[in-house]
Structure formats: C-alpha cells, structure tokens
Amino acid sequence: MTKLLDQIQKTNDIRKIPAEDLPELAEEIREFLVNKVSVTGGHLASNLGTVELTMALHLTLDLPKDKIIWDVGHQSYTHKILTGRKDGFENLRQFGGMSGFPKRAESDCDAFDTGHSSTSISAALGMVHARQLRGENNTIVAVIGDGSITGGLAYEAMNNVSKLTSNLIIILNDNNMSISENVGGISTYLNDIRTSSGYIHLRDKVYYSINDNLPGVVRGIRKTKNSLKQLMVPGMYFEQMGITYLGPVDGHNIRAMQRAIERAKHVNKAVLIHVCTKKGKGYTPAEKHPSRFHGTSPFEIETGLPKNPKKKAAYTDVFSTVMIKLAQRDPKIVAITAAMADGVGLKRYRNIYPDRFFDVGIAEGHAVTFAAGLAAGGMKPVVAIYSTFLQRAYDQIVHDVCMQNLPVIFAIDRAGLVGEDGETHQGVFDLSYLSTIPNLTVMAPKNKWELSDMLKFAVAQGTPCAIRYPRGEAYDGLREYREKIALGQAEVIFEESGILLYAIGSMVKTAEEVHARLAELGIPSSLVNARFVTPDEALLDRMLPAHSLLVTMEENVFSGGFGEHVIACAQRNDWKCDILPVAVPDRFIEHGAPAKLKEKYGIDAEHIAAKILERTGRA
C-alpha cells in the first residue's frame, strides 16, 4: 500500500493530506481501484472518472453531517475508500462482502441506498425539506451523471427543485460533454459574480427597491438580462428552471471543484455544478472502451482482457442472434432499449438495422409507451430491458400496452438471481408483477433453443408477450425436448410417478438435477417444463392422480409467483395433492454469486432434493 493512501483510515482523513499531494493521492486511488476490481470485478470506468470529484466533495463537506446522494451509486468506490472502507475491497461484491453500491447499513456516510438511476435529485430534495422542518443547516449534494439525467424522474424532481428557497447542490457529472463546451474565462467570471454573497445581497436590494417604485423599469431590465444570459451563460436551460448554473468545471481539477462547491454552498436555492470528467481516466483500456469497463468481470491489468473469457453463448447472445434473423424476415420488427444496447444484446442489431433500432435513454416508462405507439402504428416492437429496470414501467405496461392488447414483446434479461450487484438488481419479482396483468402472456425458456422458439412464437402471437431469461451462460441441455410451443401448454420431459417436478425457466435445469438425484435413490419422479407462468390445468389434471407430491420450482419470490398460481389452481380444482413450493424467499436478496445465493436460500438441487425427502418421510 502506498504512503498517502495509508493515511486514509476514516472519514475526513483526506483533510490531513497537503494540497500539493492531492494529485498524487488521486493516482494512488486509481491504481488501487484497478488492482482491486481486476480481481473481484465491478464498476471501473465510472469510478476512475470521478476520483477527483469525490475528493473535492470530501474536502469541502463535513461527513456524515453533510449528505451525498450518488445517483445509481456505481461511481461511489472512491467515496468508500475515503470513508475508511478500503479493506472492504478485498471482498467487493462478493457474498458477505462490501456492496458495490451505497448502503446506509454499511456506513453513516452513505446517505441513501441507490442502484437504479435518476433518483438522486428527488431524494436530495426530500432531505432538504426534512432539513428545513428539523431546523438544521447541513449541506446536501446530489451527484447525477449525464446519462442518468435523461430519466424522466430527474426532470420531475427539477420541476420541484425550482421552488426551493434554501440550498441544494446538484453536481452534473458529464463525461461526454453532452450539454455544452467549456467557454473558459467568461464562464468563470460570471460564476464569480453570480454566486458571491455581496452580489446576491445587492441584487436583491436593488430589485425590490426599483420594483416598488418603477415596476416597468424592472420588466425592461429583466428582459435585457435574460437576452444577455441566453448569449453568454451555457446553462440557461437550468437557469430558466430556477436552478443557478455553475460551470463547466474541469472534473479532474480538485481546486476548481472545491471553489465551485464552496460558492454553491452560499446560494439559498438549488445550484447545479456542471462537471466535465473522462470516464475510465488513468487506465488506458477503460479510457478506450468505457462501456466494456462499466461493469466488468475480473480482468488482466496489462491488457484489460477478461481473466476467464466465456466459452459458451449467454442467453443475451441467443436473443441477439434471433432478433437479427427475425428482422431479416419481417420488416415490421423494431427493437427498443433504455440506454442498454450492449447489455441487452442489441448492438449488432443496431448496426444492421439502425432505422429499426431505438435507444430512448434511461427512460423505461417512455420506452414502453413508445413501443405501444409503434405497435398501434402497425409495427412489431421488441422492448429489451433488464428485469429489475422493467419494474419502473409497470404502469405503462398495464395501461398503454396490455389494456389496449397491443403486440409488444418484452425481452426481459437478467431475470432471477443476477448476483454481485445485489438487492437493487436481482430480477426476482417479474413473474409476480407481470402475471397479474390481463392480456399479457408470460413465458420463461428452459434452454437456449426454447428462448429462440419463444421469440418466434411471441412475434406470431400478435398480443402482448413477455419472455424472461437469466443472466449468463445459456443452458444447452435437454435439446432433444423441443415440443412445439402452444399457448398455455406445458411440456412433459420425463413422466413417471410419485413426485411431480413442475419447474419454470432456469429452474428446469435444476429440476433435471433433482430428478437425477431422486433416481439414484430409487425414487421415481416426473419433470414438467411449465413454459408459461399460468398453470397448465389440463396437464396437471391428467398427471396428478399418479403423483403424491407436486413440487413447484421458480427463480422468483413466492408471493404472487408461479408456485402461488399453481396452489390457487389446485384449490379451484379441488386437487387432493400435497404441494411443496420452491422459490426465492419474500425478501430483498443481498449480493453474491448466484450459485452461493441459491445454496443459502435452498433453491439448489441438493437442498430441493432434501426438502422432498423430508416431506415424503424418507429423510
């Protein structure tokens, strides 16, 4: 460990570092991040880009009294280092280790749990009003990126922020220069004038004096001032919303950011500091390929290449290939993503069919209603979104797609336990929140071949359809079982007697393992691939008389999920059968490798087999 970083043991220790040594500390932090993330994996490019920004915040704020709300939170690694948590990087995002996102339970310097985007300004505004009601005077800062600010929630918050009469600092971390170019001396000069306490006091005094006696003059002055601002101030969009704009500021110049933050603290309204940074700064592979190093697996530092490159296609890859083939055959097929073209596998599609590809930014609700409009206009839209992010568009799925019975297909990636990103990213609620919606057909494939078949089925169906599939390597077993998909019908894989394993999606592979374990013990069992979240009543009615125990298996919470639907179905039909539901517990699941989480919560093959033996009195 290097000397300067050794001095950072707890919150506010950075203030002990001499100003002339701060650039060296920044480089030590970058080296530390690259070394640690290369071993554990994690969000690298975003953190490398915000090292100096975070240092400036810690130098100007008094934590934990003052509050920083990190939008998404994937850029908070330096914050964790500066609050005494650098030892936690040994087990970053590992089961039982430190989270990759801010966690209030982890540190009193983490003001708000995050993981999804565009929430920071709303949360910060709530904290400001709480501060006012409690009569406190701490500083509250929201740090939001130029990507996150595309989300509608950020604009809803800014609409309310404009009414503030007390201080709130919003830092816009712009790593793509998406708002304006740096205008140099003029911007600095205007910032100095507009945020100095003397200027603000004089401005208000003159304004009220003239307004009381010569209101017409005030109107003329205001009109002239606004015209000049339009020409000279790069942040007029924010100014017109009632938010004072400072910047652009070099996000890698610690002193410049300290000055901007100190100025902003003296303004009794919302202030936006526009900070320009370089994503991946200091590590060449991340600078060249920031998207690849946004969320990375362990990699070789010298080359930036993965340590364990994947050998088999992931479900995302299968979706990507099938989408291109479907688009070749049908010009009405269009693809929509919410700022995740790479993540959901639509990069190749975008390159081949740019006119039929739409990236709407981080705006899932808009993506769904936009898709509804495309469908109403005669197209066949496929909306590819992670399970955890699709939750944000629930209202639009209900009202704009399903109520009108429009042919929108939801390709739901990262369904089930996704692992190291933890509570905010586990896709364990989709079967529950989707299965309650009329007109929506909800499916989950057992392997990569079935994902292909389900996409083709959904396109031909002409009604709302959702297909949820897991993260990672696509299962290629059970290939010989590829019965044609028919609406609402399950697929029988093994039919014996005694135990009926009724599994959906990724759990069919687990059920296959359970079937093999039971066979080794001489216990016969049948295996049915549910395919659809709605139970196949006709199939169950036929098969249950030969079975004493029905085991439902899903990688989703029990509440409102597949198993609960099967139990309700059994009650309606008065089936006399013992039912053992196997599901993710009804709680938020922490970070950790999926295999470890399945073992902990008893939904792996070994634990399921043990539960069956216990239930049947054979343990």
Asked whether 42 and 94 are in contact (CB, 8 A), the reply is no
Phi, psi (5° rounding) for residue 414? 60, 40
Q: What is the DSSP letter of 401?
A: I
**Would you give the DSSP letter of residue 483?**
P
Instruction: Please state whether beta strands 244-250 and 333-337 pair in parallel, antiparallel, or not at all (unpaired).
Output: unpaired
Beta strand 380-386 with 409-415: parallel, antiparallel or unpaired? parallel
Q: Which residues pair with 389 in a beta bridge?
A: none
Is 392 a catalytic site residue? yes
Q: Rg of the Cα trace of the chain? A: 28
Give the phi and the psi of residue 199 in degrees, each rounded to 5.
Answer: -65, -45
> For 280-345, what is the HEC assignment?
CCCCHHHHHCCCCCCCECCECCCCCCECCCCCCCEHHHHHHHHHHHHHHHCCCEEEEECCCCCCCC
Catalytic residue among 30, 279, 356, 598: 279
The helix/strand/coil state of 117 is coil
d(CA 104, CA 340) in angstroms, rounded, equals 28
581 - beta bridge partners?
A: 552
Beta bridge partners of 604: none
Backbone angles phi, psi at 153, to 5 degrees: -60, -35
CA–CA gap between residue 603 and residue 163 (Å, rounded): 50
| Rounded CA separation 544/574 (Å) | 12
Least Cα distance to 550 among 501, 617, 614 occurs for 501
Among 364, 491, 555, 564, the active-site one is 364
Rounded to the nearest angstrom, the gap between the alpha carbon of residue 576 and the centroid of all alpha carbons in its chain is: 43
Token pair belonging to 483: 């019965």
Longest dimension (CA), the chain: 98
Check if 229 is active-site: no
Please tell me the total number of residues recorded for the chain in this structure: 619
d(CA 48, CA 612): 49
- Assess whether 279 carries a catalytic annotation: yes
Question: What CA–CA distance (Å, rounded) separates 242 from 557?
Answer: 44
- Bridge partners (DSSP) of residue 267 are none
d(CA 67, CA 234): 28
Contact 488, 434 (CB under 8 A): no
Strand order in the sheet with 409-415: 357-359, 333-337, 380-386, 409-415, 465-470, 441-443
Q: Which of 41, 80, 87 is nearest to 58 (CA)?
A: 80
Annotated catalytic residue: which of 80, 263, 292, 392? 392
Of 114, 421, 417, 115, nearest to 124 by C-alpha is 114
The C-alpha atoms of residue 77 and residue 172 are separated, in whole angstroms, by 18
65-86 burial, b at 16+ Cβ within 10 Å, e below that, comes to ebbbbbbbbbbbbbbbbbbbbb
Residues belonging to the active site: 279, 364, 392
